[in-house]
Amino acid sequence: MADGGVGVAGLVLAIPGLVDLCIKYGDFLRNKISNYRHIAEISRLYELITALVMGEMSDLLRFFKSIESRLSVSTRDDVMKMFQVLRDRLESVSAILPDEKPGAWDKLKFAFQDKKRLDGACKDLEQWQNRFLRRAVTFLFFGDLSTSEETSPSARQDRVTERIKRIRSAIIDDDPGTAVAKLQLDGFASSTTFKRLDRTEIVVVEDRNELVEYRRYGASAGPREINSLLVTVRDFATRLHSVDPVVMGLLKCKGFSNDAIGHKVALRFEYPSGKDNPRTLEQLLIDKQAPKHSMSNRVALASKLASAVLYLHSCGFVHKNIRPSNILIFDDVVSHSARSSHTTHPYVTGEPYLMGFDSVRKADARSNMIRVEEWKKNIYLHPDRHRMQDGDEFTMVHDVYSLGVVLLEIALWASMTEVSSFGKALWASLEKGKERILEPEKMREKYIELAKYYVPRCIGDKYRDVVVSCLEGLKDEEESRLLDDRDGIVVGSAYISQIMSKLEDISI
């Protein structure tokens, strides 16, 4: 990089030095870009660089600087790698811009030649901000950094903590009654029309851009059982009430309503802004008429879904039902002419959002040991969930296993529920009248076998490693032993290093 006010930084071996260097590069680049702000293509980049130097992104970078001594070796290496790549991105953006004030030729050149490169730079910076956010969520809410004596809270750190709390939607009213009053909605009018999405329990409220999932209780349920369910629903609705769907891959929960006559509670969700036409991932996977999506689209889909699972776990909940029928894909709201230009389904995957919360529970609560009998659902369950012995309560690692099966399906672009495709590998016998599905451990072995054989051909070795890590249960990479799920920070950090980082690093 030319001197231009930055100079040669030399070899930086620690996170604090890398943070300072990135912010220094950003400040230099911001001053450089200020000469170009009147060019439309640069205004967005200027806003992102400003956030890096003095806004939210700067807070995030300095937060990692403040906790460097608290990070494990593997986590520190992961974060340092991110800072090094961010520094390289800033250098590459600076190289696009000449040092002198732009003239008429520069403006014309930007309009025709450099616009695509600048758009790519903006997407890179937005992507890296999301990566830093995911890691900050992990360190703040899977562990307990707030009790540290090593780092005294600063105003800047308080700001980033509050930002992550908003993303995590963890600001819950002290008075449960206040939360109920805020989020308990009136029931639906008798004239309301509903449509259930194919192959799922998710219901669309027609003409209202609203989705509903029901938590049911029996007609004989007593007040204590009903109240326990309402508490879980209230807490869940509160945490998802102010989520950022774009960042988190989770839909904003409008609230809930109790249908005492139907013996069920409705969790009610908004469509994401600018989105319509929800379909399940399973519908896409079994659509024989649609073209197979590109590798880059499939990796992006997998990364967003893995991120949604991370955020849900950071909220203190386990999902218990991660499968394609509980993942919604939306189209962008576009004009009729755009729909015919291969910019919507079935030509692109769309944005994924994790749903299917009819069994969600707090991570620190005991599971209901209820066996799942329907094979199209239980093929996504961890082997422990088939055994159903004491100590087999549902954990975050079990969710990660289910995610691994879904990521395998995304790579193959096929549903394991379809016995005419890869799904036939899960059956010990398909002979009529003697159908028999594989035992749970044998099924896991088959999934891993499929991942190791087919995924490298479809997407590559890194994606294969992600799928295998999910299916094996996030092993300790140094000792090759399974991690203890009771230690949230260890599992959260392993999820970042073995799942998120590897998906982020895939370049196609």
Percent of the chain at pLDDT > 70 equals 74
Say if 27 falls within a structural domain.
yes
Token pair in block for residue 143: 């562990």
219 pLDDT band, cuts 50/70/90, is confident
Number of residues in the chain: 508
| SS3 label, residue 99 | coil
Per-residue pLDDT tens digits for 147-196: 333 444 455 556 666 655 555 443 334 444 555 567 888 888 888 899 99
Q: Please choose, from the candidates 241, 247, 231, the residue with its C-alpha nearest in 3D space to the C-alpha of residue 270.
A: 241
Q: Do the beta carbons of residue 96 and residue 117 sit within 8 Å?
A: yes
Q: Is residue 3 situated within a structural domain?
A: no
- pLDDT beyond 70 at 392: no
Assess if residue 10 is contained within a domain. Answer: no
Instruction: Provide φ and ψ at 250, rounded to 5°.
Output: -125, 140
Instruction: Compute CA distances 466 → 289, 306, 322, 401, whole Å.
Output: 29, 10, 16, 11
Which position has the higher pLDDT, 424 or 59?
A: 424
Domain annotation covers residue 294: yes
- Residue 1, in any domain of the structure: no
- CA dihedral (26, 18, 139, 74) positive or negative: positive
Same-domain status, 265 and 197: yes
Whether 119 and 57 share a structural domain: yes
Parent domain of 77: 15-168
Beta bridge partners of 258: 265
pTM, two decimals, is 0.80
CA distances in angstroms from 160 to 31, 164, 376, listed in the order given: 25, 6, 42
Look at 21 and 11; give whichever has higher pLDDT: 21
Residues 174 and 88 in one domain: no
Flag whether 5 is in a domain.
no
Mean pLDDT score of the chain, rounded to an integer? 78
Say if strands 317-318 and 351-354 run parallel, antiparallel, or are unpaired.
unpaired
CA distance 4 to 94: 10
Do both 75 and 200 map to the same domain?
no
Best CA proximity match to 477, nearest among 138, 71, 73, 15: 73
Q: What is the pLDDT of residue 1?
A: 42
Whole-number percent of the chain with pLDDT over 90: 21
Query: What's the pLDDT at 150?
Result: 42
What is the spatial distance between Cα 447 and Cα 404, in angstroms, rounded to a whole number?
9
Of 104, 138, 168, which residue is a domain's last?
168
In a domain, 9, yes or no: no
| Helical residues (DSSP H) of 34-72, grouped into ranges | 40-54, 56-66
Q: Which of these three, 168, 197, 226, is where a domain ends? A: 168
Same domain, 478 and 438: yes
221 lies in the same domain as 279: no
Separation CA 426–CA 440 (nearest Å): 10
Structural domain tally of the chain? 3
Q: What is the 3-state secondary structure (H, E, C) of 428-473?
A: EECCCCCCEECCHHHHHHHHHHHHHHHHHHHCCHHHHHHHHHHHHC
- Cβ count near 445 (within 10 Å): 14
Pair 347, 279 in one domain: yes
CATH code of 334's domain: 1.10.510.10
Instruction: Supply the DSSP symbol for 363.
Output: T
Residue 67 Cα distances to 173, 418, 478, angstroms: 29, 48, 23
Q: Final residue of a domain: which of 273, 308, 337?
A: 273
Q: What angle do CA 304, 309, 312 make, to 5 degrees?
A: 125
Burial environment of residue 327 by CB neighbours within 10 A (0 to 12, 13 to 18, 19 or more): buried
Distance CA 352, CA 380 (A): 18
Do 336 and 357 fall into the same domain? yes
Concatenate the DSSP letters of all residues of 392-433 into one string: ----HHHHHHHHHHHHHHHHHTS-TT-TTTGGGGGEEE-STT
Contacts of 221 (CB under 8 A, 6+ apart): 263
For residue range 71-104, what is the model confidence (pLDDT) as tens digits? 777 778 888 888 888 888 888 777 777 666 666 6
Same domain, 157 and 174: no
Say if residue 28 is in the same domain as residue 71: yes
**Is the same domain home to 238 and 182?**
yes
Distance in angstroms (rounded) separating the CA atoms of residues 383 and 444: 8
Asked if residue 6 is part of any domain, the answer here is no
Same domain, residue pair 322 and 385: yes
